[in-house]
């Protein structure tokens, strides 16, 4: 079964500390340490990425793939969440819509599907997504603790009694 990481770009592979102390001669857009952790998450779970970041407005899927590859990312980016422009729509709704619209790739109904994690610096989730959400600190980005929480969510085995 496919495992999915809904990824916010701002403050997950990037962070405030990186931008404050960035070497002016560096072409990197992401924190190398955060990219290593993201690669570890992919290696340990087999998950794929769906971009849920606000940066998806004005950036194509192929542009994301190119940027991530240039930054050393080794995983697969399969899609971006839809942009819902109605009033009071939060990213959790866009993730929900993506799950509803893509049931064919994860072999369960969107209601039963639990093999995903949302990595974001803001709690943008719907109430039923809370167990799949890991809050990332915008100053430090992806850390070992966040990495372990995400791995635990993605590799969790449910016991049916």
Residue scoring higher pLDDT (34 or 18): 34
Residue 122 has pLDDT above 50, yes or no: yes
Residue 159 has pLDDT above 50, yes or no: no
E strands within the chain?
4-7, 48-51, 77-80, 116-120, 133-135
pTM of the predicted protein model: 0.86
Tell me the pLDDT of the chain averaged across its residues. 83
Residue 161 lies inside a defined structural domain of this protein: no
Residue 109 lies inside a defined structural domain of this protein: yes
Q: What's the number of domains the chain is made of?
A: 1
Residue 159 lies inside a defined structural domain of this protein: no
Residue 46 lies inside a defined structural domain of this protein: yes
Residue 160 lies inside a defined structural domain of this protein: no
The enclosing domain of 44 has a CATH number of 3.40.50
Residue scoring higher pLDDT (47 or 108): 47
The whole domain housing 107 covers: 4-154
The pLDDT > 70 percentage for the chain reads 82
Paired with 93 in beta bridges are none
């Amino acid at each position: 079964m496919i495992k999915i990481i809904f990824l916010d770009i701002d403050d997950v592979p990037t962070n405030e500390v990186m931008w404050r102390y960035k070497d002016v001669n560096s072409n990197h857009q992401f924190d190398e340490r955060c990219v290593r952790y993201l690669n570890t998450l992919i290696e340990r779970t087999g998950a794929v990425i769906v971009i849920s970041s606000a940066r998806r407005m004005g950036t194509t899927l192929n542009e994301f793939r190119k940027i991530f590859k240039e930054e050393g990312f080794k995983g697969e980016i399969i899609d971006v969440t839809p942009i819902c422009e109605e009033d009071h729509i939060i990213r959790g709704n866009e993730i929900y819509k993506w799950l509803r619209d893509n049931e064919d790739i994860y072999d369960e109904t969107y209601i039963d599907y639990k093999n995903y994690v949302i990595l974001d610096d803001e709690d943008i989730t719907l109430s039923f997504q809370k167990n799949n959400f890991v809050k990332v600190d915008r100053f430090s980005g992806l850390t070992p603790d966040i990495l372990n929480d995400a791995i635990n969510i993605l590799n969790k085995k449910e016991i049916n009694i």
